[in-house]
Structure 1
Amino acid sequence: MSILLRWFFVPLLLMPLLSPAGQDDDDDAAAPAMPPTRQAGEQPAAGVVALTPQQQRAAGLVVQVLTESRRQPEFSAYAKVLDVQPLLALSTRQRALQADLAVYRGALSASQLAETRTAKLLQDNAASARSLQLAKAQRIADASRSAAAEQQLLSLRHEALQQWGPVLAEWLLGKPGNALERLWLRQDVLVELALPPNRALPPGIETVRLAPREERRQAVAARLVSAAPFTGDITQGETWFAIAPAEGLRTGMRLNAWIAGQRETSIGVELPVTAVLWRAGQPWVYLQTGEQQFVRRLIAAYHDNGDSWFVDTGLKPGDKLVVNGAQLLLSEEFRRQIPDEGDD
């Protein structure tokens, strides 16, 4: 409702400025010349509005000179915040097995010494053959427990490789590092990145942008870790692991991802979304092409960055863009296209 009222009242308020005041013929010669809003019987060019500097100030028009901007082409993918509980469970099992293995190896070392000592005592007739047999049996049992623990650790490594890939498996089974610690403390989150079936991750890509839904302006950088060894439930394309800051992200949350492509950087301009107005389902902007002239320009293609648009066709650096007052110019443009009552 407020927009409709603005469309109706703003042109009325500007009429004293946008239209020459009615005067007697005798006074016209002495009055300063002021460009008419439209010549009688003449229709203005579509998309063109002429305003004097005084009218522009009264309308509050603000013009910004566009500067060159560059953009790396990107494509969209999907992502999901993973539950790291299975990874933590593997880490817990690993530590328990390592503790058991240390105990079994200690027991094996002791039983080996006991067997050696008993064998020497038997040679000196200071121990019985049965004592040696018992010492040998204990050594064999300790060796078996130690070998079983080693095999369990090896199976755990294979399980980690199958589920999480070599990089995360090494983080898990190797020397504990800061990356895992940040995951355990939920300072970071682990993200599964799923590419469209017809896409591959370009070489050299180290980071991607992530945001809930399509809130591109709120996207955060996520660091790629490694390829995932499984196909996710989001798409049937390539899957990757990435780590992102945990702030605002929850386990199981679905995300949108933006990945830089391989094509060359595009050169264009970046304009604020406040400069864009919509008519007939298409986006338009006004450019100042002369001191008193403004032209409406169609934005045929753009890339939405949230609070700004990147445009590489139709606009160029140096163009003077109306960033405040475009809606008023549109109202004035179509008001001027309404024929006067005296026109044929």
Structure 2
Amino acid sequence: MNIPFRSKTLLIALAMVALVGLGALGSFFYQTMQVAPATPAAPPPTRVTTEGGLTIVTLDETTQTISGIQSESITASKHQVEHLAYGSVLDVQGLNDLSTRYSMAQADSATAQSAASASGQEYERNVALYKANQSVSLKVLQASQVTWNIDKAKLQAAGASIRSIHNNARQQFGAPLAGMIGAQDAPLLQKLLSREDMLLRIVLPLGVDLVAPELISVESSEHHRETAQLISVSPQVDPSTEGRAYLYRAAATLPVGSKVVAYLPLPTPDSTSLVIPEAAILWFGGQPWAYVQIAKDRFTRRPVADQTPYNNGYLVSTGFESGDRVVVHGAQLLLSEEQRPPITASACKDPECDD
């Protein structure tokens, strides 16, 4: 079929227009589907900074609430000036053994006393009968005398045993405790033997002109203070220590041999200082620290340099000021945040950015 020339021209023109349209449409789709260039990601907020030589941990108030971080203010107050001494918890098994031996010796003495009394009366009766009409033979008289002498010797031996026990008790535990052995009413001795009270030996260091106070405070490794009362001078000392030793009693339950720190009040005016509560103490690097809240969202760690335990905390005179707020809950979280390695954010998360 022959197509007119004009129609051919029209078809060619339409084909060219279609090609141009398809090219434009393809270019539009290509530009639309092309990946937009990556925008740099915002770096994560820096929580640990250094300002003026201080390490600052920054946490917003919302994060503090979620993490349970709490702080409280410390204030200066007067405290009794104290001198430090050291001691240990004594084993009272020896005192218990001496008390048991005394009870047995006392029973032996009572038995010997009864026997000596009976044999003495028998001997006196035989003497009277022998002198009167010799109805008792000399042999019986002599036998009763021997029996009486034996009973008297047993009584003397029982008395010597009792005195020996008292002497041993005085040499080991002092005269006051020794005098309680065998007493009808000795509540202190019973409390010591039942471990309701602990027996402590406190050593005052040489060169300290201080009379042993009637009442002192003692503290174990748990940093809990107990009041201790003076009993007497200790007749024995620990060979590893030098100084005057005293025996104290304390209503505490501590293992035998435990070391304790004693706080002896000095006859001097009270001193003004700060107390960092135990809940604020954080041990790091072998020494105690405390976090101080220097702003609503900023914290810094300070050393507790004094390291003087006091009332479940530490007395300090430097490094802190009255009114400082120390963290009492969440200090470990702040330390973990401070020690966390810094996070570096990549500007592009596309793997091709690493090329």
TM-score scaled by structure 1?
0.63
C-alpha distance after superposition, 1:309-336 (max 9, x if no partner): 333457665x3536489979xx9xxxxx
Q: Distance in 2 between matches of 1:233 and 1:266?
A: 35
Contact 2:290 2:327 in 1 (8 A): no
Equivalent residue letter for 1:163: Q
- The residue number in structure 2 matching 1:191 is 200
Q: Distance in 1 between matches of 2:151 and 2:231?
A: 40
SS at match of 2:106: helix
Q: Which moved more, 1:190-199 or 1:56-65?
A: 56-65
Summarize the alignment of residues 250-261 of structure 1 with structure 2, pairs less than 5 Å apart. Answer: 250-251=255-256, 253-261=257-265
SS at match of 2:184: coil
C-alpha distance after superposition, 1:161-201 (max 9, x if no partner): 11211011112243352222233333333333233334465
Q: Distance in 2 between matches of 1:282 and 1:254?
A: 22
CA 1:306–1:100: 2 relative to 1, 3 Å: closer
CA 1:109–1:11: 2 relative to 1, 3 Å: same
- The residue number in structure 2 matching 1:240 is 246
Equivalent residue letter for 1:114: E
Q: Pick from 159, 162, 167: which aligns with 1:153?
A: 162
Q: Pick from 269, 277, 281: which aligns with 1:264?
A: 269
Q: Which moved more, 1:108-117 or 1:130-139?
A: 130-139
Q: Pick from 149, 166, 178: which aligns with 1:169?
A: 178
CA 1:202–1:11: 2 relative to 1, 3 Å: farther
Q: Pick from 70, 77, 85: which aligns with 1:77?
A: 85
SS at match of 2:220: strand
Alignment coverage as a number of residue pairs: 283
CA 1:122–1:244: 2 relative to 1, 3 Å: same
Contact 2:226 2:252 in 1 (8 A): no
Identity %: 26
Q: Distance in 2 between matches of 1:315 and 1:121?
A: 97
- The residue number in structure 2 matching 1:94 is 102
Summarize the alignment of residues 49-64 of structure 1 with structure 2, pairs less than 5 Å apart. Answer: 64=72
Equivalent residue letter for 1:206: L
Would you say 1:113 and 2:121 are equivalent positions? yes
SS at match of 1:115: helix
Two-structure CA RMSD over aligned residues (Å): 4.4
SS at match of 2:181: helix
CA 1:174–1:275: 2 relative to 1, 3 Å: closer
Shift, 1:85, TM fit: 2.1
CA 1:65–1:149: 2 relative to 1, 3 Å: closer
Shift, 1:269, TM fit: 3.0
- The residue number in structure 2 matching 1:182 is 191
Contact 1:266 1:312 in 2 (8 A): no
Which segments of 5 or more consecutive residues in structure 1 lack a partner in the other structure? 1-7, 15-43, 332-344
Q: Which moved more, 1:58-67 or 1:137-146?
A: 58-67
Summarize the alignment of residues 266-285 of structure 1 with structure 2, pairs less than 5 Å apart. Answer: 266-272=271-277
CA 1:56–1:310: 2 relative to 1, 3 Å: farther
Summarize the alignment of residues 205-224 of structure 1 with structure 2, pairs less than 5 Å apart. Answer: 205-212=214-221, 215-216=222-223, 218-224=224-230
Q: Distance in 1 between matches of 2:173 and 2:106?
A: 20
Q: Distance in 1 between matches of 2:122 and 2:213?
A: 59
CA 1:88–1:45: 2 relative to 1, 3 Å: closer
CA 1:134–1:285: 2 relative to 1, 3 Å: closer
Q: Which moved more, 1:180-189 or 1:228-237?
A: 180-189
Q: Distance in 1 between matches of 2:279 and 2:145?
A: 86
Equivalent residue letter for 2:100: T
Would you say 1:128 and 2:136 are equivalent positions? yes
Contact 1:302 1:312 in 2 (8 A): no
Q: Distance in 1 between matches of 2:162 and 2:288?
A: 62
SS at match of 1:208: strand
